[in-house]
């Protein structure tokens, strides 16, 4: 039978009891470094929320670093975690290490420091309707769904506007379609605060 440890990256440490096998994610967690590298869903957000809560309670004054490489996903679960991120006492640094798209980008914006690697990208856009067809729905039901969608758009655009120092109108003109930003563009627009290793806004973790 294959051990679960053989399926996960591990390190070997020597201690008083001999040699101990430690999963790399556990080691990074001890250093207050956590990851979002999957789509945003209720399951991934529950896991992320538990990690954030633990680290915030463990040391409310010590920095947490969240690395993001996510295509985005379900809005309400992501917003719930975003709200908690903004309430934490512990300083939060977010790092885009590939792509932070859609709700992944919104979670990236929760950091007080928002660092991008040189070739990472961010994508922001208006929220799309959830699953389910409009076929067979009554006009009032369609109007209600559209109203809910507009309210969600206002929340998303408000988050972007506050983080980037832009007006709501400026943001809505950009999010009406998929808008991609490389690291330099994200820095100039206000989505990122630093670019890792650059002379301009050089981010060091």
| Model pLDDT for residues 103-144, shown as the tens digit of each residue | 999 999 999 999 999 999 999 999 987 655 666 778 888 888
Nearest to 102 by CA among 60, 131, 69: 69
Place 75 in a pLDDT band, splitting at 50, 70 and 90: very high
Output the pLDDT for position 1: 32
Residue 7 is given by DSSP the state: G
Within 8 A by CB and 6+ apart from 51, the residues are: 29, 34
Strand segments, DSSP code E, in 75-183 are 92-101, 113-116, 121-124, 179-182
Distance CA 89, CA 187 (A): 25
Decide which of 105 and 10 is more confident.
105
Instruction: Report the CATH number of the 6-203 domain.
Output: 3.90.226.10
To the query of whether residue 102 is one of the catalytic residues in this protein, the response is yes
**pLDDT higher than 70, residue 201:** no
To the query of whether residue 119 is one of the catalytic residues in this protein, the response is no
Output the pLDDT for position 6: 44
Q: Tell me the Cα Rg of the chain.
A: 19
Q: Which two tokens stand for residue 175?
A: 């999010």
Q: If 0-12 CB within 10 Å is exposed, 13-18 middle and 19+ buried, where does residue 17 land?
A: exposed
Catalytic residue among 70, 77, 102, 120: 102
Catalytic residue among 125, 173, 179, 198: 125
């Amino acid at each position: 039978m294959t051990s679960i440890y053989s399926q996960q990256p591990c390190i070997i440490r020597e201690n008083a009891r001999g040699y101990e096998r430690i999963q790399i994610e556990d080691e990074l967690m001890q250093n207050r470094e956590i990851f979002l590298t999957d789509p945003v869903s209720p399951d991934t957000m529950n896991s992320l929320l538990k990690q954030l809560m633990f680290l915030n309670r463990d040391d409310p004054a010590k920095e947490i670093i969240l690395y993001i490489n996510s295509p985005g996903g379900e809005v309400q679960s992501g917003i719930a975690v975003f709200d908690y991120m903004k309430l934490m006492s512990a300083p939060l640094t977010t790092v885009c290490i590939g792509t932070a798209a859609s709700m992944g980008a919104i979670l990236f914006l929760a950091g007080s420091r928002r660092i991008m690697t040189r070739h990472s990208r961010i994508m922001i856009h208006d929220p799309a309707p959830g699953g389910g067809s409009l076929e067979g729905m009554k006009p009032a039901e369609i109007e209600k769904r559209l109203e809910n969608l507009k309210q969600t758009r206002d929340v998303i655009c408000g988050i972007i506007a506050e983080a980037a120092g832009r007006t709501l109108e400026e943001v809505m003109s950009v999010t009406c379609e998929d808008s991609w930003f490389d690291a330099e563009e994200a820095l100039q627009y206000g989505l990122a605060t630093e670019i890792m290793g650059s002379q301009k806004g050089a981010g060091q973790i």
